[in-house]
Amino acid sequence: MKKILLFIISSFIFFGCTSNVQFSDPAQPIEVIAGSEFQIVLDSNPTTGYHWEFVEDVDENVIQFVSKDYKADEPVLTGSGGIDVWTFKTIATGETRITLGYYSPSNDGEPPQQTVTFTVTVK
């Protein structure tokens, strides 16, 4: 019985540390464990030409950008929106910020239409 309980607790700790946790509210601080991944989810509609980009570089000593994927709302229709899912990997303990801007299709030196900043603490 003790071995089963130990296995369950160990599995929970291992999978709890490696699963992707999603955040979408920049007002809420992000707290994650070093060595794990997390995701930032933002509403997006690339059919309009608007798109999310980094406004500032992230501190790659603390976190690293992994990928950005778009997931369309169902049913998939021309002009309908969806979400951008930004995945990051934590490297070491520390604090950093992720600032993303929602840019117009031309994106020729104009400031973003919207900016969001997430504060990330890696423990």
Complete DSSP assignment for the chain: -HHHHHHHHHHHHHHHHHSPEEE--TTSPEEE-TT-EEEEEEEE-GGGT-EEEESS---TTTEEEEEEEEEEPSS--TT--EEEEEEEEE-SSEEEEEEEEEE-SS-SSPPPSEEEEEEEEE-
Tell me the pTM: 0.79
Predicted pLDDT of residue 97: 97
Tell me if the domain spanning 20-122 has CATH number 2.60.40.2020: yes
How does pLDDT run across 90-122, given as a tens digit for each residue? 999 999 999 999 998 886 788 999 999 999 999
> What are the residue ranges in the chain where pLDDT is below 70?
1-19, 107
Predicted pLDDT of residue 28: 95
